[in-house]
A and B are shown apart, each in its own frame.
Chain A
Amino acid sequence: MTMTTEMHRDDTRATPLLSVRAIEKSFPGVRALSGVSFDVASGEVHALLGENGAGKSTLIKIVSGVFPPDRGEVMVDGNPVNLARPDDARRAGIATIYQELLLFPELTVAENVFMGHAPRTRFGRVDWRTMREKTNELLASLEIYDLQADQIVGSLSVGNRQRVEILRTLSQDARILIMDEPTAALTEYDVTRLFEIVRKLKARGVAVIYISHKLDEIFAIADRVTVLRDGAHVATKPVAETDSAALVQLMVGRRIESLFPKIAAPIGEPVLEVTDLERRPLTRTVSLNVRSGEIVGLAGLVGSGRSELAQTIFGVTPAEGGEIRIAGRKVDIRSPAQARSLGIAYVPEDRGTQGLVRPMTVRENFSLAALAKVAFAGFIDRTSERRLAADGVARFAVKTHSLEQVAGKLSGGNQQKIVLGKWLANQPKLLILDEPTRGIDVGAKAEIHRLMGELAAQGLAVLMISSELPEVLGMSDRVLVMREGRIVAEFSRAEATQETVGTAMMGSRKSVEQAA
């Protein structure tokens, strides 16, 4: 095994099958990639690693022809290729399997495999028999025996659907296969099967670009690993010459934390106590507590179940088991309206779809969660509504020229302030913030952090979900780490560092020991 890996590495130096040179890509307001280069050899599995927003998705979209780079080039077999459209990538032998599988659930396995390039008879009709035979050949070549060409894809398990996608790429003679978090939705057994297939593909010379957050998988399957951070290439290493601690260190790097001035607040009684909370599949026996004046950071990768936990506490998806106590009193929260009346506020992750009513004015948005406060006998008192909104605008320094401004026209940071302010109009005891500063500029970010600190100092209990480690570390009194629906580690402010929290998020062995 070591021998072959060595051989491939020599090949790499000779002629990489795919090579990406100095790719740059910007979107309005964001520099997504700045000068990223990497290459994959025939028969190599090359892992791409990086935090959310590091640029992995942008990179694979460029290689798949979803959008062109601003600068730089992609070469296949040493020749530059123009990947203007996904079809160009397919012609160049590049196939991508996205996290959301792109299959036609109503059609059969064979129809899906040959979608768009079905074998034809002499008269131009679809040659069903050849199609079935070729599908069976492909199935046999990968030693897949629990899948038939005539099965309807919609009835298959996730693992089998993924195999159909892999078959499809093979039917197109793809030589470069990109897999974006292929194990995200798979069971352990399916992961093993996937790895067997990847090894077979490797043996027949396919180059695989493997994107995953899971370090143990990378060590199990990859030959080399490239780490991206903030759109830049950080390092490329053979996996044999590195370990998880080193990779985590490369991923998170060291960034300035002085942006987040933490106000020390007196910490009081527990406001929220959660014991063995259950809501399958992503909330599994979760226990935690948040005290008044305390900011608890909830770290974890996307899909680790943090937002789901928040929504279960808030009654959006009521719990199936376990216990929630608010200020010491046992409660059974079945709806957001009930959670609100118990003094819980939830600022959702996605402002656009969950937080703001865009066509409404600033005034109307501010009062929406507190209508009962400004309405008498069902009718809204304009004066108190205006006062409520004006207070919010002043307190949160919302930059708007009038209360009658349509909220959808404000900048992202100001929209977030309104969503935050809307909930505080109810004077909650517990504030749950889901990605409070995603997608807003640095200035607005600092302001929201300042507000969070002030609110905690006023005795509010704050549970903050964030995917940005510096934010978690900078703002939290305590850090909880979630993975696969469970809380796997807890750190005090002093213990929490990029390395300890990052390692627990990624789930290598070390953190498991820590959690135990």
Chain B
Amino acid sequence: MSVMTVPSSRADPRRIFKALASQEALLAIAVIGLAIAVGLYNPRFLAARNLSDVLLGNAYIAVAAIGMSMVIISGNIDISVGALIGVLATLSGTLAVKGVPIIVTWLAPLVAGILIMGLQGVVIAYLRIPAIVVTLGMLSILKGGLISVTGGKWITDLPDSFHLADLELLGSVPMPVFLMIAATILAAWWMHDSAPGRAIYAVGGNAEAARLCGISQPRTVVMVFALHGLFAGVAALLYATQLRVIQSTVPPNLELTVITASVVGGVSILGGVGTVIGSTLAAILIAEIASALVFIDLSPYWIRAVQGMLILATVIADILRRRRMTGA
């Protein structure tokens, strides 16, 4: 009988192969491979200036994708995140020009993000309304509300001290990159090693089994949405503080880019599977592709089509993998 003998050593070749075949490894290889390939075609792509611009300009998407990954892993979805980031960025900028202490302008989007997303989580979990409907409603409320309240006015004359994204840490690491990496590592560790993190996977993988194990699905879902709101707040902060002018509008299609990053990062749209390391790498890959298009003389408008292909390919691969697993 081939009953297993317990923990295999780290050097197990099967394990190394498995690690290399993981979504995260594939994405990391893709990020590096693409940089090399495009660099061979047009060396200017590899200029430090360009690479850092790609990371700086898109770090907020990776941060938002962390929360989105948690939401999708828990078996839900959120399409209001783009609109929320627009609202929170405007909120932060408005406070800043009003002369509110800078620390408040930085914390306000985080708190508001937690509250708004947490509220959505309550409606989804306790009133049992499908997440797609609740967040679609919130999307319209936020988008419409923002335009109505601000009249689409631009926020200018932001105080210099407001620009958190311009700060550098540990010598010369720009704040957006630092926050992206720190948030990814913290979230990955928490999801991997904490009991509440495990509950997210259990609820998304099999809500009924989780319930019978004493894990409360509603409580987990509210927690996930509140956390997602926190990450959306950080994303909004990075987005707002790197701009000289805040446009008081919702960045177009932002929620789709964020969802794409999660799904391409290996988060199963059916719930229960995925990591935030994957979603961060996918966010970087998507930003890299968008930048590469320019350097290989293609219209940057191709990025939407490329995103579409990536998301379809990943979801099809995921569904096929699941079917094989369940033997259905």
Residues of A at the B interface (CB closer than 8 Å) are 314, 316, 335-337, 340-341, 346, 348, 352-360, 364, 368-369, 371-372, 375, 378-380, 382, 386, 390, 393-394, 397-404, 406, 408-409, 422
Contact A393 B193, beta carbon cutoff 8 Å: no
C-alpha gap A112/B8 in the complex (Å): 62
Report A462 CB to chain B, min CB distance, Å: 18
Chain B residues lying within 8 Å of A372, measured Cβ to Cβ, are 195
For the complex of A and B, 4 pairs with smallest distance between CB atoms = A337-B214, A357-B205, A390-B6, A359-B272
Contact A399 B1, beta carbon cutoff 8 Å: yes
Report A398 CB to chain B, min CB distance, Å: 8
Contact A357 B272, beta carbon cutoff 8 Å: yes
Chain A residues lying within 8 Å of B213, measured Cβ to Cβ, are 336, 340, 368-369, 422
Chain B residues lying within 8 Å of A336, measured Cβ to Cβ, are 211-214
Interface residues of B in 244-272 (CB under 8 A from A): 268, 272
Which listed residue (A353, A399, A401) contacts B208, Cβ 8 A? A353
Which listed residue (B198, B201, B325) contacts A409, Cβ 8 A? B325
Interface residues of B in 189-213 (CB under 8 A from A): 193-196, 198-199, 201-202, 205-206, 208-213
Contact A397 B1, beta carbon cutoff 8 Å: yes
Q: Which of A341, A368, A390, A422 has the most CB of B within 10 A?
A: A368
C-alpha gap A357/B74 in the complex (Å): 12
Contact B4 A359, beta carbon cutoff 8 Å: no
Which listed residue (B4, B15, B193) contacts A382, Cβ 8 A? B193
Contact B214 A397, beta carbon cutoff 8 Å: no
**Contacts A360-B202, A406-B325 given; does A355 touch B212 at CB 8 Å:** yes
Report B325 CB to chain A, min CB distance, Å: 4
Chain A residues lying within 8 Å of B201, measured Cβ to Cβ, are 357, 359-360, 364
Contact B268 A380, beta carbon cutoff 8 Å: no
C-alpha gap A346/B7 in the complex (Å): 28
Which listed residue (A371, A400, A404) contacts B198, Cβ 8 A? A371
Contact B4 A356, beta carbon cutoff 8 Å: no
Chain B residues lying within 8 Å of A357, measured Cβ to Cβ, are 201-202, 205-206, 209-210, 272
Contact B326 A408, beta carbon cutoff 8 Å: yes
Q: Which of B1, B6, B273 has the most CB of A within 10 A?
A: B6
**Contacts A360-B202, A394-B6 given; does A346 touch B212 at CB 8 Å:** yes
| Cβ of B3 under 8 Å from chain A | yes
| Cβ of B2 under 8 Å from chain A | yes
Interface residues of B in 206-255 (CB under 8 A from A): 206, 208-216
Contact B7 A403, beta carbon cutoff 8 Å: yes
Contact A378 B205, beta carbon cutoff 8 Å: no
- 19 further contact pairs, Cβ within 8 A, besides A314-B212, A354-B212, A390-B6: A336-B212, A340-B214, A357-B272, A359-B322, A360-B272, A369-B213, A371-B195, A375-B194, A375-B195, A378-B196, A380-B198, A386-B7, A397-B3, A400-B4, A401-B2, A401-B4, A403-B7, A406-B325, A409-B325
Report A86 CB to chain B, min CB distance, Å: 22
Contact B206 A353, beta carbon cutoff 8 Å: yes
Contact B212 A348, beta carbon cutoff 8 Å: yes
Report A29 CB to chain B, min CB distance, Å: 11
Question: Which residue of chain A has its CB nearest to the CB of B205?
Answer: A357
Report A386 CB to chain B, min CB distance, Å: 6
Contact B2 A399, beta carbon cutoff 8 Å: yes
Question: Which residue of chain B has its CB nearest to the CB of A374?
Answer: B195
C-alpha gap A408/B323 in the complex (Å): 10
C-alpha gap A337/B322 in the complex (Å): 29
Report B197 CB to chain A, min CB distance, Å: 8
Question: Which residue of chain B has its CB nearest to the CB of A401?
Answer: B4
Interface residues of B in 165-211 (CB under 8 A from A): 193-196, 198-199, 201-202, 205-206, 208-211
Contact A399 B3, beta carbon cutoff 8 Å: yes
C-alpha gap A360/B204 in the complex (Å): 10
Report A268 CB to chain B, min CB distance, Å: 27
Question: Which residue of chain A has its CB nearest to the CB of B190?
Answer: A379
Chain B residues lying within 8 Å of A393, measured Cβ to Cβ, are 3-4, 6
Question: Which residue of chain B has its CB nearest to the CB of A355?
Answer: B209
**Could you pull out 27 A-B pairs where Cβ atoms are within 8 angstroms?**
A336-B212, A337-B216, A340-B213, A340-B214, A354-B212, A355-B212, A357-B201, A357-B209, A359-B201, A364-B198, A364-B201, A364-B202, A368-B202, A368-B210, A368-B213, A369-B213, A371-B199, A378-B195, A380-B198, A386-B7, A394-B6, A399-B3, A402-B4, A403-B7, A406-B325, A408-B325, A408-B326
